[in-house]
Amino acid sequence: MTASPLDDATFELLKQRVGAIHLRQRLGIERDREHRIFGQGRTFFHVENWYSLRSIIRNSLRLVLLHGRAQRNARRIELRHNHIRLAGLPERFDNFTLLQLSDLHIDMAEDFPHVLIEAVREIDYDLCVLTGDFRGETYGPYEAALQGMQRLRTQLEGDVYAVLGNHDTICMVPALEAMGIRMLLNEHVQLQRGDQSVYLAGIDDPHYYRADNIEKAGDAIPEGAASILLTHSPEIYQHAAHAGFDLMLCGHTHAGQVCLPGGVPVMCNAACPRAFCAGAWTHHDLQGYTSAGSGACVVDLRLNCPPEITLHHLHCASDAYAAQQAR
């Protein structure tokens, strides 16, 4: 058996959280995947591992005099608001606000942690959620990403919950939790306000590692309770809808990152319809939101696709409650 990159104590800790088989599979695929461009995961082609593409994109944009503009765009993070009416949302959670940050790739550029910190400064919210992809590469060292996350965490108020993305190694989990980021590894937590609750679940990466387990994350959530699912990719929207979740927050697609005029993505790198690859969407009774991401990967450039941080404002959908508030 190949030696684990984790020390014995950390391996045992994570084994208790995710199970021995899940942990061995996750670590094994991480070792196997280095530099892999084709195969594995829900999509056959993994553009993030095609190293030559970086030069192609940069040189193409320089040729048409757009490289400087695209680099500046990647640092102009927009604050977006998404208002959501949820059936079954307890009254005490009316106007509850979630700050979503996704696809930070915080070590892609030396100045980016500062850019992101400035973007989140002085924003009011009740809870922060991170929907994966903390580091820029999909393999290799991750210390710089952890340093960037530590700087960011000092500026985030209150509780922070997160899930892993396809760029993240499970080896990052202990350090992330030590800095006050509660990782949800096919798990859920109960958020309480007084005697009322909302359930927040999170799953491991469903895109490349396919380590997601919605059943494990949601089985113990009471029937009919308001529930929110955090996942890195929108690709499991059908599973989430039929599992009974009310809201799903995700990222991964970067909404294309480098897009044609009008924001038309050249590629979304996700095995799902494009309607689910950016912004708000619905599927049956499930409401969802796919963030365009705060950072950039492959190259620290964005064109016709601004980065974002998102405030999700939750509202009770009950007609009786709405009438009561209007009085």
Helix (H) or strand (E) holding 11, with range, is: helix 8-18
User: pLDDT-based confidence at 45, cuts 50/70/90?
Assistant: very low
User: pLDDT-based confidence at 89, cuts 50/70/90?
Assistant: very high
CA distance 281 to 275: 7
Tokens describing residue 207: 């895109």
Residue 34 has a pLDDT of 60
Residue 17 has a pLDDT of 87
Residue 77 has a pLDDT of 96
* Domain ranges (residues) in the chain: 8-326
Angle at which helices 143-153 and 112-120 pack, to 10 degrees?
20
Tokens describing residue 170: 């499970």
Q: Is the pLDDT of residue 323 over 60?
A: no
Highest mean pLDDT among 33-37, 45-49, 156-160, 266-270 belongs to: 156-160
CATH number of 8-326: 3.60.21.10
For residue 261, which phi and psi values (nearest 5 degrees)? Answer: -50, 140
Q: Is the pLDDT of residue 284 over 70?
A: yes
User: pLDDT-based confidence at 276, cuts 50/70/90?
Assistant: very high
Task: Provide CB contacts within 8 A for 233, sequence distance 6+.
Answer: 42, 165, 166, 205, 206, 207, 250, 251, 252, 253, 270
Q: Is the pLDDT of residue 288 over 90?
A: yes
Task: Write out pLDDT tens, residues 187-204.
Answer: 999 999 999 999 999 999
Task: Write out pLDDT tens, residues 97-151.
Answer: 999 999 999 999 999 999 999 999 989 999 999 999 999 988 889 999 999 999 9
Task: Write out pLDDT tens, residues 223-269.
Answer: 999 999 999 999 999 999 999 999 999 999 998 888 889 888 887 78
pTM of the model: 0.89
